[in-house]
Amino acid sequence: MVQIHEMEYQGANLTVYSTFNVDSSVGRKLQFRLDMDSTNHITSNPYLVSPNGTRITTAVLDSIINMWTIDVALAQTGRWKWSVGLSGNVNNHVRVSVTAQAREPTSMPIYSRAWMSAGAGDVDASANPIIIYAEVKQGNNPVVGARVRAYVSQPDTTARATELELLDNGQAADNQAGDGVYSRYLTVYSTTGRYAVKAQV
């Protein structure tokens, strides 16, 4: 199972939506999940729109764990959209995640993982420059030529995440070209505190 999309939202919008891509390596048993802290926060059921424009409205609510799910047996490749109506209560939040399995049971999906050179401990970024890494592989094989964007969340939770285009060209922060490990120096620090990183490929 590979996570192909995630998003959290807390704010006054009455409708929240986003898009995600399903590539040719995944799509079997796709599942959309929407977690919420209050069922009253959802004013209209979530739905998906496939790349060919078909609206999928088969959302099922599990009120015990406050989760909506939509299952798609084999998702069409391309750009998908999801949407949900909210109450506008700024004290409530929703979290969306989309997962899927490899399109063919005998093939491996493309996956990624992201991390920082600082690890989980304290670091003085002025003395030790921080590098953001993302590894992109299909099974054990590196994926080259991908567009990889990292999102670094700030200690101030209201601040927008810093976006970085990661490179696998063997220059600057990247040690070796073509190894499927994309990297870049993080040069913007808003304040002292905890930073976290995720990558989108």
For the chain, list the domains and their CATH numbers: 2-102 (2.60.120.380), 110-200 (2.60.40)
Please list the alpha-helical segments (H only) found in 2-108. none
Q: Residues 68-78: what's their mean pLDDT?
A: 97
Tokens for 8?
């959290």
Q: Which residues of 185-201 are buried (b: 16+ CB within 10 A; e: fewer)?
A: ebeeeeeeeebebbbbb
pLDDT at 94 over 80: yes
In whole angstroms, how far apart are CA 200 and each of 20, 108, 112, 113, 147? 10, 18, 8, 9, 8
Q: Residues 146-164: what's their mean pLDDT?
A: 83
pLDDT at position 121 is: 64
d(CA 19, CA 71): 16
Residue type, 72: V
- The listed range with the strongest mean pLDDT (36-40, 48-52, 191-195) is 48-52
pLDDT at position 119 is: 62
pLDDT at position 120 is: 59
pLDDT at 158 over 70: no
pLDDT at 122 over 80: no
Please list the alpha-helical segments (H only) found in the chain. none
pTM for the complete prediction? Answer: 0.72
